[in-house]
Chains A and B, each alone.
Chain A
Amino acid sequence: MGWPQLLRPWVFPAALLGLLEVAARWLVPGSDALAPPSQTAMAFGRALMAQGDDSVLQATTFTLTSAALGLMLGAALGLALGIVLGLSRRAAAMGFLSIEVLRPVPSVALIPLAMLVFGFGYRMEVSVVAFATFWPLLILTQAAVRQVEPQLLEVAHALGLSPWARTTQIVLPAMVPRLFIALRLGVSIALVVAVTVEIAANPSGMGYAMMIAQQSLEPDLMLAWLFWIGVVGYGINLATLRLQRAVAQRMGEVNLEAKP
């Protein structure tokens, strides 16, 4: 691949940024709402240097920690219940109605409840993220268990394995590639929900830093945060995609795209 090909993805965003620079400098100079990209870059540099509560490192750590803890909680619960519902048709039929009734509740509707129960801080954010990631992981795990080769389960039966041994030695290893697809979806949901909780209520993290920048009429800082949230989200999504592909290569290809 020559350098023109490598440069190609950058042309369109560069043109957009150039347009924004011109528009912000000449059409609305000194605006409280928009800032030219050059000023945004400078504001981002200042925020990187800053120490204390509003530093980039601290806010990013808070958001990512909450997202990761929430995902771990939601994924663990979703995985456990998903395996049970996937292995037993009867259990799946029994839980069907309750799941269909509870699942459509939008995760953000729980923000006020989490606020009431936990107050502000890690716990409320983690709980909302866990609720949001629980459902997709439950559904995808259930589907993944269903797609485990029936012959493998027959082998387990023939060997007289206990249900626990069957789950840990046959089912779990067989569904690892599909599980990573589910986890990738969970990661992106966790990040989006964590930032949303911070923007709507929780006074910490990247989302809150962005809200504060807007409220104190610093459009350059606000846009810098928006850009940084985008970069973090893109980086994490790319990393999980690589991980999922590596796992799929090692453990056997799965012939499907993740369908949310």
Chain B
Amino acid sequence: MTTDTLVRRTPAHSAARPKRQALGLGARVRRHWQLYAMLALPLIWLAIFAYWPMYGAIIAFKDYNVVDGIFGSRWVGFKHFERFAESYQFWRLIKNTLILHVYELLATFWLPIVLALGLNMARRRWYRRSVQLITYAPHFISTVVVVGLIVVIVDPNSGVLNHFLGLLGIGPIDVLSNPDYFRHLYVWSGAWQTMGFSAIIYLAALTSVSPELHEAAIVDGASRLRRIWHIDLPAIRPVAVILLILNIGSIMSVGFEKVLLLQNTLNLQTSEVIDTYVYKLGFASQVPQFSYAAAIGLFRSVIGLALLVLANTIARRFAKSSLW
């Protein structure tokens, strides 16, 4: 009760305190009824579009058919999960998803940190500003347009990439339809798009470092690199750990929309991930297999949640910062 804190300051009112504390839960709820009224719409939205689908996920344990609906369809237990675990797709999907995500993590996690350190070090304002303005820009470009950009740049006939390769004497390469290139294309175009904007969070952490620390270190004769190592990096660490936890929690999912856009029948060998497979089973196949697709989706969500909890526990123990 916040009124308590106000009242407590003036001793004359101290008599009023016990009365306030005695205020029951019902009375406190009634006093705030207008706040609950404001929450009503968002909560209704949450119930319909977040929690109803969670309830609907029980179709993973049923044989869903349109006539009987979610509630009326027959229970089948773990049939769909077993079918997925035994299917030839199982290991390939998990392998593709994991490799793509881990590659992305290793290749791009440290990039925004380096960029932020560099920006923080640069003293010329106009330079700093223009680097920021340009590197943030790709963040606002849609996934469809980014993939469109990739398509025109790597086009085997007219793309600029193959013209440059041609100058080096390397024959035209059809990058898009070669499964060997898919992961690099996905990861590095992602780095191009998100690196600048991801640096913001680290920059914020860096600007909160007290200048006195740096001044003291300079007086003690510390070089720039030493100051980065001993002052800047420790300042960034808590943020980095939290982002890492979040990233590990989503290890079973990838930038699914971009994968789907970059995917074609020729590069499926490396580009088919769990999420695109779920999409295909549900929407792009002749007979939609809703229950089977939902089971695979649920399998992924549960593992993701478990990994998030695990990563958080480890981070709390060793790095002393955590999500909760």
**Are both chains from one complex?**
no
A interface with B by C-beta (< 8 Å): none
Residues of B within 8 A of A (CB): none
